[in-house]
């Protein structure tokens, strides 16, 4: 669809991203999903085209990028129809912004160039076995001991948790509530850190883990921001994460639409192409309508962010709009494929398995509604 928000620069980046996905990801997506991981060299290949550096400071190897460049990146990655690959390949987009924003200069200079070059992997560790989005009540403890923090506790459902070299971890350094939360950078080879791989409904190619911290000694200089300021930094991270998820989900919905249309045109039933049956045409129109509405809402929100606004309520609603559109289109696409849609190997089947992780991750649908209502003064 044509849009007034994209320039020639955006279009050129889109073409480069499309070639990258078609060459380096799409041919292997099914194989990598079945094997439960993708090759680590993919990070370096992504770095070479500037994908990993989007939006990060240029002094550390980053590339200036507006909201629309980020949408292009997310949506072109989605064309492979493999959310697990996108999630882990881009886990630094939630793990590293707190480092870029609030870590000490020497930490930024040491960590960010390695991550943005694809040599090291960054992940964010917030969720705990006893609670997900209730960040203010996390229980992983970090007590100060001279020039170190000693960390004990667990994090779970951590994307890139098995392979991450750098973990941005939410810990409790103070009393109860949001004011007692801080952020620490914990390196992957820290003694006392162990990891357990998790098996999932979808996102098979993304390594997901539970992290166990057993009296891990972390240099005090690895504190991100000030003590007790971690909650604020985490909240700042959420707008970007939710916009990225919304962009991806809208694109995954479009992938389902495109695959269903192609199949409906060639599949013969009752003596004519499936697409010539009115009920199928109506399904396709319903899918196209929802995708177009979601994309339009996404781009208007991106424009508002570029204008300096912080429309938290609308971003929460956008995430729900996009995940609901993805769920609808994935379901309808599998239905149009019929029995073939139940077989592994097509994009729609893979995306169908990935619907729920998007509706849960980054804040559940219910939490998004509650947060939006509060922002609206209700």
Catalytically active residues, by annotation: 241
Q: Whole-angstrom Cα distance, residue 267 to residue 336?
A: 10
DSSP-derived letter for residue 188 is: T
Could you give the count of Cα atoms lying within 13 Å of 182 in the half-sphere of its Cβ?
24
Residue 299, C-beta contacts closer than 8 angstroms, at least 6 positions apart: 3, 5, 68, 71
Residue 6, C-beta contacts closer than 8 angstroms, at least 6 positions apart: 14, 68, 72
Q: Where are the beta strands (DSSP E) in 128-234?
A: 141-145, 148-159, 166-172, 181-187, 193-197, 208-219, 223-224
The angle, 0 to 180 degrees and rounded to 10, between the axes of the packed helices 278-306 and 312-337 is: 160
Task: List, in sequence order, every residue forming a beta bridge with 54; answer none if it has no partner.
Answer: 63
Contact by Cβ (8 Å): 212, 196? yes
Query: Which candidate, 55, 69, 62, 184, places its Cα nearest to that of 115?
Result: 62
Q: Whole-angstrom Cα distance, residue 329 to residue 358?
A: 14
Residue with tokens 């190619």: 205
Query: Which candidate, 363, 378, 313, 368, places its Cα nearest to that of 134?
Result: 363
Enumerate the H helices of the chain as residue ranges. Answer: 8-24, 29-35, 41-48, 67-78, 83-89, 92-95, 97-102, 105-116, 230-266, 278-306, 312-337, 347-353, 355-360, 365-375
Q: Whole-angstrom Cα distance, residue 88 to residue 351?
A: 16
Contact by Cβ (8 Å): 371, 320? no
Backbone angles phi, psi at 242, to 5 degrees: -70, -35
Q: Whole-angstrom Cα distance, residue 206 to residue 124?
A: 14
């Amino acid at each position: 669809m044509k849009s007034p928000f994209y320039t020639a620069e955006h279009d050129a980046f889109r073409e480069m991203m499309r070639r990258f996905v078609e060459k380096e990801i799409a041919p292997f997506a099914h194989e990598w999903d079945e094997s439960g991981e993708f090759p680590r060299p993919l990070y370096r290949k992504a770095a070479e085209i500037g994908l990993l550096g989007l939006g990060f400071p240029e002094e550390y190897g980053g590339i200036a990028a507006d909201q629309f460049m980020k949408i292009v990146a997310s949506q072109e990655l989605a064309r492979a129809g493999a959310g697990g690959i996108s999630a882990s390949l881009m886990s630094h987009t939630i793990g590293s912004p707190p480092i870029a924003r609030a870590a000490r200069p020497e930490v930024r200079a040491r960590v960010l160039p390695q991550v943005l070059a694809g040599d090291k992997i960054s992940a964010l560790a917030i969720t705990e076995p006893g609670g997900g989005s209730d960040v203010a009540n996390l229980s992983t403890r970090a007590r100060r001991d001279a020039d170190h923090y000693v960390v004990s506790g667990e994090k779970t459902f951590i994307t890139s948790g098995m392979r991450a070299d750098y973990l941005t971890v939410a810990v409790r350094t103070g009393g109860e509530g949001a004011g007692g939360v801080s952020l620490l950078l914990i390196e992957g080879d820290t003694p006392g850190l162990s990891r357990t791989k998790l098996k999932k409904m979808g996102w098979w190619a993304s390594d997901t883990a539970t992290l166990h911290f057993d009296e891990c000694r972390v240099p005090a200089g690895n504190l991100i921001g000030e003590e007790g300021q971690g909650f604020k930094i985490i909240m700042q991270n959420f707008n970007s994460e939710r916009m990225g998820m919304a962009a991806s989900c809208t694109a995954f919905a479009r992938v389902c639409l495109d695959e269903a249309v192609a199949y409906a045109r060639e599949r013969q039933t009752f003596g004519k192409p499936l697409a010539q049956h009115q009920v199928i045409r109506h399904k396709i129109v319903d899918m196209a309508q929802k995708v177009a509405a979601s994309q339009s809402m996404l781009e208007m929100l991106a424009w508002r962010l570029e204008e300096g606004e912080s429309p938290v309520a609308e971003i929460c609603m956008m995430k729900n709009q996009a995940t609901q559109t993805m769920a609808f289109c994935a379901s309808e696409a599998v239905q149009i494929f019929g029995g073939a849609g139940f077989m592994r190997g097509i994009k729609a089947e893979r995306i169908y398995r990935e619907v729920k992780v998007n509706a849960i991750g980054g804040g559940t649908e219910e939490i998004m509604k509650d947060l939006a209502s509060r922002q609206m003064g209700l």
